[in-house]
Structure 1
């Protein structure tokens, strides 16, 4: 049954197994019944049942319960000792007729078992009346002659990042990962992603810290507000608020954020910081990190003539649609265009000429910022649509 089911994408199995619990006298069961302990993938479990309901009368409540192993000192030691243990599992709980197992009732779930939630399952697994009543003349009742089989199929899955199916209640990101995140103001997801990328660019962060801001007002100074965000990311135990930073841009409303994308926001931020850095020890730091050079050219095919110009860039916008890899996106960006026919190039001193038009990257910066063009205008829908092609 569930032991042979296919795992959801991106989940790796630690191990799987099953356990059958046969009840010989349903009517003699206590209010709370527990099966024998069984082991799956090195973890101990049992089946927990309330035959007359748990907070719900006239229904059978059925759960699977994780049993933390005890260390020598007597403390819970399920997955690392103390109350820090957890185990992630997909499971199926089933009740079936002992003699005719094709008569059954089944429910499936997934859960992150922790010290706070050691059991998980179904408070309303089934109406008791339905279990005791035959479906028709040819089908026996699920509970027949007071006997029934309860089965658990458990598949324990790996949790390499430690947050699979986590509800994040009382979660200490600083303690578990060494880092904290940024609070989302509602329309600032793109800003948060950029700020975290810049924060982890150590040379950029150090340059920001060296901007003189002693006399600045954080409500009006982008540099000071950014310094405070970066500092909080280093020392705070809670997610960091960015309201002060956004107000320093003069963006007070939701509409202000919706009118910008991450590329525009980044350029405004970098321009502001470059201005603030002028004449200081970090003058030119932004360009040193992010500035590259590219040459745009038009080269005639039949005569010796070329028009070109070299420009600085801080980021590159790459097409994603139809490109399988980042290399494909760069090839698309540098693809040479042929100017001929009605689209010939007017070359000074040579008139209309067939020509090749393209770009050449003359240098890349230490930190290359790429903007993947995930949205395009759809004329039929009269709206921007997302491109889901993946590299």
Structure 2
């Protein structure tokens, strides 16, 4: 593979002390490298750095001075290793990555210039960056600090997830395997992956008697097989038999999102366990309780209603973070009641061992006459103390640890789900993207999923585990 190199340039790789040029480093999740451009003011064509491996793909910086717009063009390019024995050029590949494109300062009192973005590189869009990274007059001004002796240093930092269809062995790289995608079932795959690592739940599912069950209609039997294969298979696990057991028409796979599917699955298992020694398992792990109070404005009527929940639905728009949204959830609201107004308030009486928050990213827009996605920033936490939200506070803190983040990308009608999971609750996060599993930085699992109006990937469901049973 030949590189086009124009003008005088030099590539500098910044690497760890333990760097070793071997196959393992070809699969590293992140890297930083530079392109040193001498005679910068005379560059008139595209100039490239050397190629560097991240996640088995080849990455390089591409730069050009555009004298028409009087700006610097600065991009990062990605392509598969076509010399790899396992690469097939008939497959569509893609790789999601967070990229920081920097221009290095030569002055101690001037910070490096930095622009960060997140995108998906693919065979269709293999180059991402900025057509106008910065104004040339500023770059060429030595007082600004970014040029010295007509030399400019550009730097790229890449943090990439595992690629699709480009030589990635999930089991070998992470110890885990993913689930095959069938039509629009990524929301189902995300939920199943989170349930798989809940040991008590997995154990109870395996213990359900299913020997006489109809193989085509038993959800419990199909789930047992999936959990077994996720444990012992070295390849992605199929879900067609499980989908068939749910009784869904193949054209209706996308009828429910992750939240609705979780409820359907837990209710089916709850029904299966009824009357057996396993009855109560679902409630014990996943069910919390609330009391709703309705008070008429003239105090002529006060009603209460006790309810069980498997997940808590929280507003995103205008809330900014999880705490604000929980406070909103329990705040007093005015409702219509018998052609009049009344006050309604919800109080939590208990929280479950495994706590699911469903973030309401989609709202109905009466003007568009359809649901639209809210991509506002919504922050959540690694650790959560919910004691103050209980009707009667406990003597011991009701503390939780963040276990999983289910993210949704793009719009309601054309979206994709992925699960970021901390399987051992030890701070090591993994992304389960259907059949591809990869280790990811904690920031990719948490910070990146806060949401942003400029990005369309954000948290849709949060799963917390009660701290007292972590070990």
TM-score norm. by structure 2 comes to 0.52
Shift of 1:294: 0.5
Residues in 2 aligned to 1:330 and 1:315: alpha-carbon distance in whole angstroms: 13
Tell me if the contact between 1:292 and 1:312 (Cα under 8 Å) persists in the aligned partners: yes
Correspondence for 2:167 among 165, 170, 179: 170
Correspondence for 2:314 among 312, 315, 318: 318
Runs of 4+ in 1 over 3 A off after TM superposition: 20-23, 77-82, 87-97, 107-112, 114-122, 151-154, 163-168, 299-305, 338-345
Counterpart residue number, 1:289: 285
CA shift digits 1:98-151 (9 cap, x unpaired): xxx4353234579652797778689xxxxxxxxxxxxxxxxxxxxxxxxxxxx9
1:102 aligns with 2:53: no
Shift of 1:273: 0.7
Residues in 1 aligned to 2:372 and 2:354: alpha-carbon distance in whole angstroms: 29
Counterpart residue number, 2:333: 337
Structure 1 gaps of 5+ residues are 1-19, 24-34, 44-76, 123-150, 346-354
Counterpart residue number, 1:74: none
Correspondence for 2:13 among 34, 40, 43: 40
Residues in 2 aligned to 1:246 and 1:186: alpha-carbon distance in whole angstroms: 11
Correspondence for 1:387 among 357, 374, 377: 374
Structure 2 gaps of 5+ residues are 63-150, 379-471
1:195 counterpart SS class: helix
Correspondence for 2:203 among 206, 214, 238: 206
Shift of 1:305: 5.9
Tell me if the contact between 1:323 and 1:389 (Cα under 8 Å) persists in the aligned partners: no
Residues in 2 aligned to 1:261 and 1:21: alpha-carbon distance in whole angstroms: 50
1:380 counterpart SS class: coil
1:375 aligns with 2:372: no
- Cα 1:80–1:278 change in 2 (3 A) is farther
Matches within 5 A, 1:65-84: 79-80=19-20, 82-84=22-24
Matches within 5 A, 1:219-368: 219-254=216-251, 256-299=252-295, 306-338=302-334, 344=340, 356-368=343-355
- Cα 1:210–1:111 change in 2 (3 A) is farther
Counterpart residue number, 1:130: none
Alpha-carbon RMSD across the aligned residues, in angstroms, is 3.7
Tell me if the contact between 1:89 and 1:156 (Cα under 8 Å) persists in the aligned partners: yes
Residues in 2 aligned to 1:230 and 1:267: alpha-carbon distance in whole angstroms: 19
- Cα 1:111–1:249 change in 2 (3 A) is farther
